[in-house]
Amino acid sequence: MRFVVAFNSEMKKKILRAKTVYASGEKNPNVAYYIFTALLESDLPTAELSTKRLQHETISVIGAGMETTMFMLTTSSYHLLANPDQLLRLRGELAAAIPDPLHVPSLEPLMQLPYLTYVLTVGAVVIMDHYTSSHDPHVFPGPHDFRPGH
C-alpha cells in the first residue's frame, strides 16, 4: 500500500509540474509533458482537466503500457518454451548479435535481427484484431503452431 501512496504522490507532483510548465509556455521534451500538453490543449471542459482527472489518465496510460507489454512477454515466453527449436534459433541469433552480454549493441543492428522482422512488416495495415487474423488457416497455415516466420 505504501508503494501506491508514494506513486500517487509522485504522480501528483509531476502533473502539477507539467501544468506549471504548460502555463509558462515552456517547451519540455519529456514524453509525460507531451501527454499532459495534449490533454491541456484539448477542447475538454476545464473541469475535466483537474489534477485528479490527469492522475486517472496517467494510470490509464501506464496500465495500458504494462498490460500490453506483460501480455506480449508472457505470450512470447510461453511459445518459445513450448517450441524449443524456435527458442534455440532465437538464442543462436541473439548470441551472434550480442557476443558479449556486458556490451549490448545499439538498437539499430538489433532491429535487423530476423525475429524482429517476422510476422508483420512495418506499416502493414491490420483491420482485424490479432487473434482473428492470426488464427485463420487461410491467412496462416497451421495457426496454432508457433512459427515466427509466418
* pLDDT recorded at residue 133: 65
Q: What is the per-residue pLDDT across 116-146, written as a single tens digit (0 to 9) for each? A: 766 566 777 656 566 666 777 877 788 888 7
DSSP secondary-structure letter at 143? T
Q: Considering only residues 104 and 32, tell me which one the structure prediction assigns the higher pLDDT.
A: 104
Please say if the pLDDT value at position 81 is more than 80: yes
pLDDT reported for residue 107: 85
Q: What are phi and psi of 100, to 5 degrees?
A: -120, 105
Res 83 pLDDT > 90: yes
Instruction: Dump pLDDT digits (tens) for 13-64.
Output: 888 888 888 888 877 666 566 778 888 888 889 888 898 988 888 888 887 7
pLDDT of 20 reads 86
134: left (phi over 0), alpha (psi -120 to 50) or beta: alpha
**Distant-in-sequence, close-in-space partners of 114: CB < 8 Å, separation ≥ 6:** 93
DSSP result, 58-97? HHHHHHHHHHHHHHHHHHHHHHHHH-HHHHHHHHHHHHHH
CB 63 within 8 A of CB 69: no
100: confidence class by pLDDT, cuts 50, 70, 90: very high
Cell of 98: 550480442
What's the pLDDT at 87? 92
